[in-house]
Structure 1
Amino acid sequence: MEPHPPVFHRRPEHPRGAVLLLHGGRETGPEEPPPWNLPGQRMRPFASALRRGLPDAVVARVRYRHRGWNPPRADAARDAVAALDGLAEEFGDLPVVLVGHSMGGRAALWAAGHPSVQGVVGLASWAPPEDPVEQLAGRRVVMFHSDRDRMTDPRGSWLCVARARQAGAAACGVRISGSDHAMLRRAALWHALTVRVVAGLLDPALMPPEIAAELAADAGGGPPPGPRRIGYEPIPVPGG
C-alpha cells in the first residue's frame, strides 16, 4: 500500500514552518484505520489551536495506512517519515515540528532524524526504554505527560528525556498535574502549552522562558533547573 499524503489543516501561501500531528493508536492492528476514529479526533483541538496560534505555519497531520504500531514494522513511524518526505517535496527545506500523542509520540521520536525535523513535542508518549534515541541528536525535544496517566507511564517520557540528552539532544520534561492520558482534564492547558512550545521550537525567541532555560542548560551540559510551579511543572529527569 502506498503511503498516504499528509492531510492539511492550514496551508499558508508563504509559510515559515510546519507542524505535523500524529495521533495515537494501539500496539497491533494491521487493518486500515476507519475514517472516524477516537485517537484521531483527540488531535483536532490541537490542530485548531495551532491554526489560530501559528497563522504563518503549515498545519498537517499524518494519515496512517494501518492501525497500530505492528512491531517490528513500526508502521506509524514509517508513515511519519513518508509524510515528512511529502512536505519536503512540496515546501522544500521548511523546518518541521512533530507533535505526537501516545503511539504518535513514539512515531514522532522515531522519525525525528528526518532532515526536515527541527523539534519534537511528545504528548503522553508511549516511549519504551529500548527504543532508539540516536536520531534525536541535534534536535530539541519537549515531553509532556500527566502524573495521573494510567495508559502510558510518565516515567517512560522522563527516561526518554534523559536518554535523549545523552544522545546529544536538548530535551526537557513537563509534568501536567492532575490530567489524564486522553488530555481531557486541563485540556486548555495542553492546547495552549503545545502552541507556545511549537512556536518556540520554530523560533527560539518565542519559547516560554522556563522551558527555554531548561533546554539551554541542557545544551550547555549543566544540570537542569529544579521543578517550578507555573500552572504546569517542568521537571528534572534521571541522568540530567
Structure 2
Amino acid sequence: MTQQVEPGPTARLGRAVGTNGAVAGVVLVLPPGEPESARGPSALAHTSVRALTRELAGAGAAEGLVAHVVRYRGRGWNGDAARLAADAEWAVAEVVRKYGDVPVCLAGVGMGGRAALRAAGAGAVNSVVALAPWLPDGADGTQGADAEPVRQLAGRRVLIVHGTNDERAAPELSFRLAARAKKSNREVCRFEVHSDGHGMRQHRAEVRALSTDFVLGSLFGRPYARPLADALAAPPPLGLRMPLSTGFGRG
C-alpha cells in the first residue's frame, strides 16, 4: 500500500539524461541520504550518482530509456515521515505526468535504496535496484529492518546488491528483507560483493554492469545475463546470497 504523498516545493526531477526520441522507459536514480536531518538536499549525494545515471541512460538509449536523478526536498528520512520515499513516489507520479504510461525502475543507493524499496508500490514501477540499502538495525529496541514493509514489492522485479564488508549499512539486514520479500514474490534476487565496503568501489564496474543488465531486462525485456537469470530463478537462500563474480559484464 503506497503512502500519501505531498510533493514539497523543492522535490523535483533532475535533468533528463538519455534519448532525444520517444521515451519507452524511465529509471529514477535515488541518491543516498541520512536517517535524520533537517538540512536541505545534499549536492554531494546528487553528484555521487551521476556516473551511474549516465551509464544506465547510455546503455538503454537504443530502447528509449531516459534517466533522472531525483532531487529530494531534504537529506533526511526522518522516521515515520519517510520523506525520501515520499519524494520518490512523487517523482514516479511526475514521470507519468511527463511521459505517459511508461515503465519505471527505481534505482537507489544507500538510504536511496531504502527509498526505492519503500516506494515500489507506485503504479508505474515495474522494478527496483537497491545498492547497499541502508535499513534500520533495531539497536534501539525497535523491530528495525524486520518491520520494513515488503508487500509493495509484489509484482515487481527486485535486485539488491550489497558489499559483505559494509560497515555503514549492514548487509545481513538487506538479506533478511529480501528473504521476507521472496516468500511472496519469486522475482527477488540479491548479490553479495565479497570483501567490498559500502561504496562497493573495488567492484564498481561489475556492480554497474549488473545493475544495467537488470534495468534493461526489466524495462525492455532484454534477456538477463546468466548469473542474474539464475539468481532470480534460484530458491532462497541461494538466489539471495549470489556472489558477484569479478569481471561480470566484460566480454
Q: TM-score, normalised by structure 2?
A: 0.83
1:144-223 superposed matches below 5 A: 144-168=161-185, 170-217=187-234
Q: Give me the whole-angstrom Cα distance separating, in 2, the residues matched to 1:177 and 1:133.
A: 26
Q: Structure 2: which 5+ residue stretches go unaligned?
A: 1-7, 136-144
Q: Secondary structure at the match of 2:233?
A: helix
What residue in structure 2 maps to residue 230 of structure 1?
245
**Cα offset, 1:158, TM superposition:** 1.1
The alpha-carbon distance between structure 1 residues 108 and 232, as it changes in their structure 2 partners (threshold 3 A), is: farther
1:133 aligned to which of 141, 150, 158? 150
User: What are the Cα deviations for residues 64-99 of structure 1, in whole angstroms up to 9, with x where unaligned?
Assistant: 001110111000000000000000011111001110
Kindly indicate whether the alpha-carbon contact (under 8 Å) linking 2:163 and 2:197 is maintained by their aligned counterparts in 1. Answer: yes
Aligned residues: 228
User: What are the Cα deviations for residues 168-204 of structure 1, in whole angstroms up to 9, with x where unaligned?
Assistant: 3510110112322123222222222211111111134
Residue type at the aligned position of 1:130: A
Q: Give me the whole-angstrom Cα distance separating, in 1, the residues matched to 2:247 and 2:165.
A: 14
Regions of 4+ moved over 4 Å: 222-229
**Cα offset, 1:228, TM superposition:** 5.8
**Cα offset, 1:11, TM superposition:** 4.8
The alpha-carbon distance between structure 1 residues 163 and 3, as it changes in their structure 2 partners (threshold 3 A), is: farther
Q: Secondary structure at the match of 2:77?
A: coil
Kindly indicate whether the alpha-carbon contact (under 8 Å) linking 2:194 and 2:244 is maintained by their aligned counterparts in 1. Answer: no
Q: Secondary structure at the match of 2:87?
A: helix
The alpha-carbon distance between structure 1 residues 167 and 13, as it changes in their structure 2 partners (threshold 3 A), is: same
**What is the aligned-residue RMSD (CA, Å)?**
2.1
User: What are the Cα deviations for residues 183-229 of structure 1, in whole angstroms up to 9, with x where unaligned?
Assistant: 322222222221111111113433112211332345xxx88568566
Kindly indicate whether the alpha-carbon contact (under 8 Å) linking 1:3 and 1:79 is maintained by their aligned counterparts in 2. Answer: no
Q: Give me the whole-angstrom Cα distance separating, in 2, the residues matched to 1:43 and 1:175.
A: 20
Q: Give me the whole-angstrom Cα distance separating, in 2, the residues matched to 1:114 and 1:94.
A: 13
What residue in structure 2 maps to residue 84 of structure 1?
92
Residue type at the aligned position of 2:118: W
Q: Give me the whole-angstrom Cα distance separating, in 2, the residues matched to 1:25 and 1:92.
A: 29
2:113 aligned to which of 87, 95, 105? 105
Q: Give me the whole-angstrom Cα distance separating, in 1, the residues matched to 2:18 and 2:192.
A: 29
Pair 1:6 & 2:13 matched = yes
The alpha-carbon distance between structure 1 residues 45 and 149, as it changes in their structure 2 partners (threshold 3 A), is: same
User: What are the Cα deviations for residues 25-51 of structure 1, in whole angstroms up to 9, with x where unaligned?
Assistant: 1111122124x22x2222111012112
Residue type at the aligned position of 2:37: G
Kindly indicate whether the alpha-carbon contact (under 8 Å) linking 1:143 and 1:172 is maintained by their aligned counterparts in 2. Answer: yes
The alpha-carbon distance between structure 1 residues 171 and 187, as it changes in their structure 2 partners (threshold 3 A), is: same
Q: Structure 1: which 5+ residue stretches go unaligned?
A: 234-240
Kindly indicate whether the alpha-carbon contact (under 8 Å) linking 2:25 and 2:219 is maintained by their aligned counterparts in 1. Answer: yes
Pair 1:40 & 2:46 matched = yes
What residue in structure 2 maps to residue 21 of structure 1?
29
Pair 1:142 & 2:142 matched = no
Kindly indicate whether the alpha-carbon contact (under 8 Å) linking 2:206 and 2:244 is maintained by their aligned counterparts in 1. Answer: no
Kindly indicate whether the alpha-carbon contact (under 8 Å) linking 1:177 and 1:232 is maintained by their aligned counterparts in 2. Answer: no
Residue type at the aligned position of 2:38: P
Q: TM-score, normalised by structure 1?
A: 0.87
Identical amino acids, percent of aligned pairs: 32
